[in-house]
């Protein structure tokens, strides 16, 4: 008799099933505990009716293999693939994934369109995830709100169950198209090979729905989709007067009938991100001290027929000093912004004598998520942190400076920026108060410091800027 899946069953002598949390046409999702690493995971178990077919098991294994290559903050992490043989000889096939906490975008959209900033943020994060997949030659082929999970750390693109390689046939073995009709690109109806542009079309549909609450071409069947594409007017976003024109343009370009007219996922992400990120901080002003030149020795009158002894060296030294002074001054002027803003004083979480970033910092100066914000030194009072965007701009500028100086690892910089963007979007849309995401961002800095992804000096500076961000005007 086949061993049924039930709470408490152990798969592969490692994964203890806890409870069923989802089900689809091909699989069942279980919450489980990895008893080797002592952590909660999600198990996607192939339906028993399909597990007997080696072809379907191969599909699940290939899905796991493809998804395991994708390491990105907005893609679900795949940890393992396994198979167990039951007493009757049947096989249970499963994929082990990170366990997510949140709600599907599909459920959120039942309440209507998202707030503008949140819709743009969701679109940007999904585009960034797809760009990462496309760089590895993988096409998702089922980008829909049902496959986007809204979590506390941003969106996660789910389910690479029908993903394939770029250029692979875009049909099943019977020549049929698969996917969700309203989100399928027109060329897929003609069986064109899988291309990143088909994912971009689906992304355009998703973004259109997040902005308006509706898809451009409503359809539940392939016949309805064909009819809607043939008779329906081109999509428009003219009824959203507050929508930034660059967002409208990139969304409608993604929905172009001709795949060659669509942008790449990376271009979509960049266009949307430009509407969310605060501007780069102004260049730092370099103040060149003006000190009088040292007095020069008096020139000895020249003897008849030639210069005085030593006067030629004195003149050359004077000219050299003048050239150096002018050159340094011009270099400082070149770095001045056209309209120099009034400098703000950053609150400090370390003593005023914090060593420069190129010197080691004692471990005691590292920030901790559990440590309350340290009051600024009385000798350097903090100014008003300004608006949320201004304060976020300063944090983003510090991240840029740390990346450029090699004090912050690239992956850590991306992680911190994503957390900062999530914070800005959540607070701006009213979904969250400022204090909780600020605490999460400080905790992330502390964790990344412990991992060695940020130097202690930059971690201290970032923590100070994030503390200031917590007092920003929302």
Alpha carbons 448 and 438: distance in angstroms, whole number: 15
In sequence order, what are the residues at sequence separation of 6 or more whose Cβ sits closer than 8 angstroms to the Cβ of residue 231? none
Q: Are strands 78-85 and 39-46 parallel, antiparallel or unpaired?
A: unpaired
Does 142 participate in catalysis according to the annotation? yes
Closest CA to 132 of 70, 89, 175: 70
425 pairs with which residues across the strands? none
Select which of 142, 159, 170, 199 is catalytic.
142
* Element at 81 (helix H, strand E): strand 78-85
Task: Say which DSSP state 96 is in.
Answer: E
> Is 44 known to sit in a ligand binding site?
yes
Phi, psi of 155 (to 5 degrees): -80, 155
Contacts of residue 377, defined as CB under 8 A and 6 or more positions apart, other chains included, come to 348, 351, 352
Q: How many residues does the chain have?
A: 474
Pairing of strands 27-34, 15-23: antiparallel
Q: Residues annotated as binding site?
A: 44
Q: Residues annotated as binding site for ATP?
A: 44
Catalytically active residues are 142
């Amino acid at each position: 008799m086949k061993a049924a899946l039930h709470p408490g069953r152990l798969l592969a002598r490692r994964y203890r099933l806890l409870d069923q949390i989802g089900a689809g046409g091909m699989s069942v999702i279980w919450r489980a505990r990895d008893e080797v690493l002592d952590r909660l995971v999600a198990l996607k178990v192939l339906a028993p009716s399909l597990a007997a077919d080696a072809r379907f098991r191969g599909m699940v294994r290939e899905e796991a293999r493809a998804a395991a290559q994708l390491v990105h903050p907005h893609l679900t992490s795949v940890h393992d693939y396994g198979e167990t043989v039951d007493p009757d000889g049947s096989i249970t096939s499963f994929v082990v994934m990170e366990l997510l906490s949140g709600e599907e975008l599909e459920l959120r959209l039942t309440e209507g369109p998202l707030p503008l900033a949140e819709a743009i943020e969701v679109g940007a994060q999904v585009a960034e995830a797809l760009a990462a997949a496309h760089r590895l030659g993988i096409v998702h082929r089922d980008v829909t709100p049902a496959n986007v999970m809204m979590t506390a750390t941003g969106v996660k693109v789910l389910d690479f169950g029908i993903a394939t390689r770029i250029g692979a046939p875009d049909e099943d073995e019977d020549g049929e198209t698969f996917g969700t009709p309203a989100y399928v690109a027109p060329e897929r109806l003609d069986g064109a090979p899988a291309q990143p542009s088909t994912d971009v079309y689906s992304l355009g549909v998703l973004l259109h729905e997040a902005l308006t609450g509706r898809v451009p071409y409503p359809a539940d069947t392939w016949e309805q989709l064909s009819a809607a594409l043939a008779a329906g007017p081109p999509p428009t976003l003219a009824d959203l007067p507050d929508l930034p024109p660059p967002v409208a343009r990139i969304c409608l370009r993604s929905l172009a009938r001709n795949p060659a007219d669509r942008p790449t996922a990376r271009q979509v992400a960049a266009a949307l991100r430009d509407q969310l990120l605060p501007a780069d901080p102004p260049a730092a002003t370099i103040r060149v001290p003006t000190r009088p030149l040292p007095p020069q020795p008096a020139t000895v009158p020249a003897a008849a027929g030639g210069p005085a002894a030593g006067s030629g060296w004195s003149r050359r030294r004077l000219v050299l000093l003048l050239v150096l002074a002018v050159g340094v001054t011009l270099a400082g002027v070149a770095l001045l912004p056209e309209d120099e803003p009034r400098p703000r004083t950053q609150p400090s979480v370390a003593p005023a004598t914090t060593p420069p970033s190129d010197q080691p910092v004692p471990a005691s100066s590292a920030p901790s998520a559990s440590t309350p914000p340290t009051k600024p030194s009385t000798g350097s009072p903090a100014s008003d942190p300004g608006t949320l965007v201004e304060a976020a701009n300063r944090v983003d500028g510090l991240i840029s400076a740390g990346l450029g100086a090699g004090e912050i690892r690239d992956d850590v910089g991306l992680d911190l920026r994503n957390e900062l963007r999530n914070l800005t979007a959540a607070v701006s849309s009213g979904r969250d108060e400022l204090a909780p995401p600020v605490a999460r961002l400080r905790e992330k800095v502390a964790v990344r410091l412990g991992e060695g992804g940020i130097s202690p000096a930059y971690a201290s500076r970032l923590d100070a800027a994030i503390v200031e961000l917590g007092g920003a005007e929302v």
